[in-house]
């Protein structure tokens, strides 16, 4: 049976700096009175149908997924991501966690239907969706994706607002760098390797030009004719040793948030 779990997180931004991640957590339980006809110590209930058994199995799978430890993992990941942005003067506050069961959504299908149902807040509210898998090609596996600010959004809601936010594979909950990287895009930051060794790259002066790489060699210099070595520790690059943003990225992220999103949070 396919995995069918997804986590929904909403980050809403309030104040002059980003201020809130809104996850929603709804847990419903039913307590039903139980009574069984008992005769001579034996139960007279009929054998369960195959349909009932199938549904019970699905419920058992879902119940195993909705655990305190899993929800704690989400909260811990958000706490770690929030710390990554604190030096920017950007603060995120966890509001809740919402766990949704849906076979298609959890595998990256029917994205707009999912977001239409789950999307919360204005354009200053970052919605994060953690799913079992994302649709991607075998040669280019996708771990996460996020929408940049859209110049055509004028505070009127609609498809642009609904589509906004980040979708990330849930197996990367323990790998907070991926969420931080994607949220960087939501704030308008480009990859450090954008444009490669030509032009103005990511349009930020203190991020050295570089090519797309996955290594953590601090002496790497994929654009030797441009000033500076590869910033392998930058969150907007690709590797597993990312730890921070530059001063220029900090200023750009704050300015872009205020320019695009702060009026509609």
Active site residues: 182
Tally of CA atoms within 13 A in the half-sphere of 144 that contains its CB = 28
Environment class of residue 32 by beta-carbon count within 10 Å: exposed (0-12), middle (13-18) or buried (19+)?
A: exposed
CB 206 within 8 A of CB 229: no
Which of 131, 122, 121, 124 lies closest to 100 in space, CA to CA? 131
What does the block give as tokens for 143? 């771990």
Distance CA 255, CA 103 (A): 39
Distance CA 147, CA 124 (A): 13
CB 165 within 8 A of CB 146: yes
Distance CA 6, CA 14 (A): 26
E runs forming strands in 46-138? 91-94, 98-101, 125-131
Distance between start and end Cα atoms, the chain: 39
To which residue do tokens 């034996």 refer?
A: 42
| Residue 1 CA: distances (Å) to CA of 50, 59, 62 | 15, 12, 11
Distance CA 105, CA 176 (A): 22
């Amino acid at each position: 049976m396919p995995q069918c779990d997804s986590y929904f997180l909403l980050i809403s931004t309030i104040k002059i700096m980003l201020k809130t991640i809104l996850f929603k957590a709804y847990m419903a339980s039913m307590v039903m009175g139980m009574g069984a006809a008992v005769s001579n110590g034996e139960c007279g209930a009929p054998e369960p149908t195959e349909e009932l058994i199938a549904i019970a199995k699905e419920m058992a799978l879902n119940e195993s997924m909705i655990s305190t430890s899993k929800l704690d993992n989400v909260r811990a990941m958000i706490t770690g991501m929030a710390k990554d942005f604190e030096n920017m003067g950007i603060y995120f506050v966890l509001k809740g966690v919402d766990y949704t069961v849906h076979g298609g959504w959890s595998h990256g299908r029917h994205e707009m239907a999912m977001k239409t149902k789950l999307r919360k807040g204005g354009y200053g509210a970052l919605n994060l969706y953690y799913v079992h898998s994302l649709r991607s090609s075998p040669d280019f596996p996708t771990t996460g994706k996020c929408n940049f600010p859209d110049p055509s959004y004028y505070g009127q809601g609609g498809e642009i607002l609904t589509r906004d936010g980040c979708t990330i594979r849930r197996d990367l909950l323990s790998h907070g760098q991926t969420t931080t990287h994607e949220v960087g895009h939501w704030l308008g930051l480009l990859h450090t390797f954008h444009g490669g060794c030509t032009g103005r790259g990511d349009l930020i002066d203190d991020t050295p030009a570089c090519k797309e790489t996955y290594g953590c060699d601090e002496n790497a210099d994929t654009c030797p004719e441009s000033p500076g070595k590869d910033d392998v520790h930058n969150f907007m690059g690709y590797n597993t040793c990312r730890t921070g943003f530059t001063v220029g990225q900090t200023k750009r992220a704050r300015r872009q948030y205020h320019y695009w999103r702060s009026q509609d949070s």
